[in-house]
Amino acid sequence: MTTIKNQKISRVMGEISKKVGQAIFDYEMLKEGDKVIVAVSGGKDSLCLLKLLQYRQTFIPIDFEILAVHVDYGIPGFPVEKIESYCQSLEIPFHREKIDILKDKTMEELNCFWCSWNRRKALFQLADKLGFNKVALGHHMDDIVETILMNMFFKGEISAMKPNQDFFKGKLAIIRPLAYIYESQIIQMVKKECIPVIEEYTCPHNDTTMRIFMKKTLAQLESKIPKIKQNIFNSLQNIKDEYLLDKTEERKAL
C-alpha cells in the first residue's frame, strides 16, 4: 500500500472525503486486500477520485491497493504525460493502456456509447490480466441522477448507475465512491487542491449529447427545486412497489 502521510488538505476535500467514506461504507465498496484500478481520464472527476482514495488509504483500517490506469484512445496530442506526472506526485503506480479506438474512424464518427464501451472492455481485460478485483470510476451524484432520467426519458425504464456493481459472478466489481458527491463540490476541490485537470482537449460531441441536454434541464429545475438531485437519487432507494404499474396484475383484474 503506497500512501503519503501527514497530508494537509483543504476543508472542501475533507468534507468530500467524509461523504466518500460514507458511500464506501453504505455500499460495502472496499474490503481488506482489495486491488483497485482507478480509471483516470485526466478530467476533474477521475483525478479527484484518485486523490481521495489515496488520501483515505492513510487512515482507514482497510488495506487496499491502488493502480491508476489511463485508457489511451490514441488521440493525437493528448497529454497523457500530465496524468502520469500527477500520479507520480501522489506516489501512485500508473499504467497506460493503449487501444485503437480511432481505427478506420474519425473523432466526429465516434459517440459516447462507443467510447464508454471500449474503455470499460479495456479496463475489465486489464483487471483480469493483472489480478485486480475492483474498478473505481469517477461518476458522481449528478452523473447518476442524469442517468436515471435519461433511462426514463429515452429508454422507458427505471434504472441507474449502481455505486457497487458486480460482474462475472462477483469476480470483478465497478465501484463509484463519488456517489454522494455533487459535481459542484468536485469543481471546488479542483480549485482548492490545485489538481491539474486536462482542459486543452475537448470532445467534439461535448455540447450535443443527451447527457448535456439532461444536465441543462436539471440545472433549470434545480433553480426551482433546490433538492431535486438528492430527491431523484433517493427515489430509487424508496420504491413503493404497490404503486408501480404491473401488466400481470392489470390482466388479472380484467
Top-confidence residue, 115 or 248: 115
Task: Say how far apart CA 38 and CA 101 lie, in whole Å.
Answer: 20
CATH of the domain at 172: 3.40.50.620
Specify the residue for cell string 470532445: 203
Q: Which three cell numbers stand for residue 163?
A: 455505486
Closest to 39 (Cα-Cα) out of 103, 82, 81, 96: 96
185 inside domain = yes
1 inside domain = no
What pLDDT shows up at residue 67? 98
Average pLDDT on 56-72 reads 96
Domain extent, residue 178, equals 11-253
The pLDDT > 90 percentage for the chain reads: 76
Top-confidence residue, 244 or 201: 244
User: What is the band of 116 on the pLDDT scale with cuts at 50, 70, 90?
Assistant: confident
122 inside domain = yes
What pLDDT shows up at residue 200? 67
What pLDDT shows up at residue 42? 96
pLDDT, tens only, 40-49:
999 999 999 9
Residue 163 per-residue DSSP state: S
Q: Which three cell numbers stand for residue 113?
A: 456509447
pLDDT, tens only, 157-197:
999 999 999 999 999 999 999 999 999 999 999 999 999 99
What pLDDT shows up at residue 201? 64
Top-confidence residue, 82 or 5: 82
5 inside domain = no
What pLDDT shows up at residue 115? 79
132 inside domain = yes
Is it the case that residue 15 has pLDDT exceeding 90? yes
16 inside domain = yes
Average pLDDT on 108-130 reads 85
Task: Say how far apart CA 185 and CA 182 lie, in whole Å.
Answer: 5
Q: How many domains are contained in the chain?
A: 1
Average pLDDT on 76-87 reads 94
Is it the case that residue 205 has pLDDT exceeding 60? no
6 inside domain = no
Q: How far is CA 145 from CA 131, 138, 166, 222, 231, in A?
A: 32, 14, 20, 12, 9
Is it the case that residue 27 has pLDDT exceeding 70? yes
pLDDT, tens only, 82-103:
999 999 999 999 999 998 766 6
**Threshold 0.95, pTM exceeds:** no
User: What is the band of 207 on the pLDDT scale with cuts at 50, 70, 90?
Assistant: low
Average pLDDT along the chain: 90
What pLDDT shows up at residue 84? 98
Q: Provide the 3-class DSSP secondary structure of residue 46.
A: helix
What pLDDT shows up at residue 228? 97
3 inside domain = no
